[in-house]
């Protein structure tokens, strides 16, 4: 599996995204439809461009291909020059094809991904300016977004709170007329960003906030009766939905462990491991069906769509659970997911990458784009990086501590 994944990364995923480089206006083109037609006039999502920066920075750090660092530098310059608001701080939500703001809202989730990207670019390039910008965004989140219960999520350009409809527009909630003030998804990616920033900087204040986030997950997000993470919350972090997001839970299971490993707090490592392995077992029993992971459960309804990113995160999450528990069933799931991805999720067309999703029978959703503001090389690229890295250090420091 490892050899196949490395080949797939270097021969399919990396070349696909390099073709989207916009030499004229900077960054990367923001839309490729299902028929592989690129729209050079489409808006450019800042999340998409942050994730592309993260991808090429990590590709260089792992593979040491100098060309990847050049692509990371191109992406970094676009993020700094165009995506950042140099008057009010933070990064915008959406830019035009030419790089002008078309949605100037500020979202905590978006700031977090910029931190994630900048921290990785600092590691790859050793550019101190990138680290300074990441720390500035960290301080901005803590000063503008933090409250007594967690993090406020949505703001206008001048950092006045607005309705949180970017990440809480789940179709089930919308049907019930409910908007989530706060989401597990945003908390998870703030934690992810702070993990990366602390790993490359060892900045004490970042470590303190990372510890607080781990406590927040343990005490407010994790549901010990159901062994799931709650998804949508009110202002005070009370759950407002009966929902199980399979992809987010298996992703969180390893990201929470990674945060503990980077932080290095022995007590928190043990406390977090005690429930992250339960999250993995729960996803294994509830969502793994016919060789792939279903999407989510809302009340009694199960969405059996097979989403590209859920399968990618499943591989990493199950390998992580195997490394912790020694349960070979997790490794079997990871291998089965890779076979499923090869059969159904990888685009068989020469110029393609991965399709967005397939139905339960493996039929691709032909109307869904191959690239758009959320469809990026972050999940499948990271899966490749993690599998390659874990082959070098099979168990790692975290698992030596708890074994």
Position 298 pLDDT exceeds 60: yes
CA distance 91 to 47: 9
Is the Cα dihedral 310, 316, 319, 325 positive or negative? Answer: negative
Position 401 pLDDT exceeds 70: no
Q: 145 to each of 142, 153, 182, 218, 373, how far by Cα in Å?
A: 6, 7, 11, 21, 23
Contact status, residue 370 vs residue 36, Cβ threshold 8 Å: yes
Q: What is the DSSP string of 289-339?
A: ETTEE--EEETTEEE--EEHHHHHHHHHHHHHHHHHH--HHHHHHHHHHHH
Position 170 pLDDT exceeds 80: no
User: Over the stretch 302-328, which tens digit does the pLDDT of each residue have?
Assistant: 999 999 999 999 999 999 999 999 999
Position 50 pLDDT exceeds 50: yes
Contact status, residue 294 vs residue 287, Cβ threshold 8 Å: yes
Contact status, residue 183 vs residue 232, Cβ threshold 8 Å: yes
Q: Where does the pLDDT of residue 267 fall: very low under 50, low under 70, confident under 90, or very high at 90 and above?
A: very high
Beta bridge partners of 293: 288
Q: Which residue's structure tokens are 């590709």? A: 59
E strands of 63-207, at which residues?
94-95, 101-103, 106-107, 154-155, 182-183
User: Over the stretch 342-378, which tens digit does the pLDDT of each residue have?
Assistant: 999 999 999 999 999 999 999 998 889 999 999 999 9
The mean pLDDT value of the chain amounts to 95
Position 53 pLDDT exceeds 80: yes
CATH domain 2-402 topology? Glycosyltransferase (1.50.10)
Report domain extents, the chain. 2-402
């Amino acid at each position: 599996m490892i050899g196949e994944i490395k080949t797939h990364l270097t021969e399919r995923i990396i070349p696909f995204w390099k073709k989207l480089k916009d030499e004229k206006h900077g960054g990367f083109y923001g839309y490729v439809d299902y028929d592989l037609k690129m729209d050079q006039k489409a808006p450019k999502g800042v999340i998409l461009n942050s994730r592309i920066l993260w991808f090429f920075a990590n590709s260089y750090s792992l593979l040491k291909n100098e060309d990847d660092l050049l692509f990371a530098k191109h992406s970094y310059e676009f993020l700094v020059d165009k995506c950042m608001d140099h008057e009010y701080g933070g990064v915008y939500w959406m830019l035009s094809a030419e790089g002008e703001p078309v949605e100037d809202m500020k979202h905590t989730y978006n700031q977090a991904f910029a931190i994630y990207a900048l921290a990785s670019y600092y590691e790859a390039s050793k550019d101190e300016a990138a680290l300074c910008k990441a720390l500035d965004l960290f301080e901005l989140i803590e000063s503008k977004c933090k409250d007594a219960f967690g993090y406020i999520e949505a703001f206008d350009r001048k950092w006045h709170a607005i309705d949180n409809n970017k990440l809480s527009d789940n179709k089930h909630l919308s049907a019930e007329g409910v908007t989530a003030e706060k989401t597990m998804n945003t908390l998870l990616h703030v934690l992810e960003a702070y993990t990366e920033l602390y790993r490359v900087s060892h900045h004490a204040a970042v470590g303190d906030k990372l510890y607080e986030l781990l406590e927040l997950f343990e005490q407010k997000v994790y549901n010990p009766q159901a062994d799931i993470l709650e998804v949508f919350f009110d202002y005070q972090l009370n759950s407002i939905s009966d929902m199980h997001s399979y992809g987010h839970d298996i992703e969180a299971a390893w990201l929470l462990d990674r945060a503990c490993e980077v932080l290095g707090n022995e007590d928190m490592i043990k406390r977090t491991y005690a429930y992250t392995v339960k999250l993995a077992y729960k996803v294994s029993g509830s969502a793994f069906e016919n060789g792939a992971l279903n999407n989510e459960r809302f009340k009694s309804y199960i969405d059996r769509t097979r989403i590209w990113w859920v399968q990618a995160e499943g591989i990493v999450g199950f390998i992580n659970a195997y490394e912790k528990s020694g349960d070979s069933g997790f490794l079997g799931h990871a291998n089965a997911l890779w076979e499923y991805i090869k059969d159904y999720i990888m685009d068989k067309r020469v110029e393609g990458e991965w399709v967005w999703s397939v139905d339960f029978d493996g039929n691709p959703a032909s109307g869904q784009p191959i690239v758009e503001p959320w469809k990026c090389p972050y999940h499948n690229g990271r899966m490749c990086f993690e599998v390659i890295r874990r082959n070098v250090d099979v168990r790692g420091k975290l698992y030596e501590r708890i074994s």
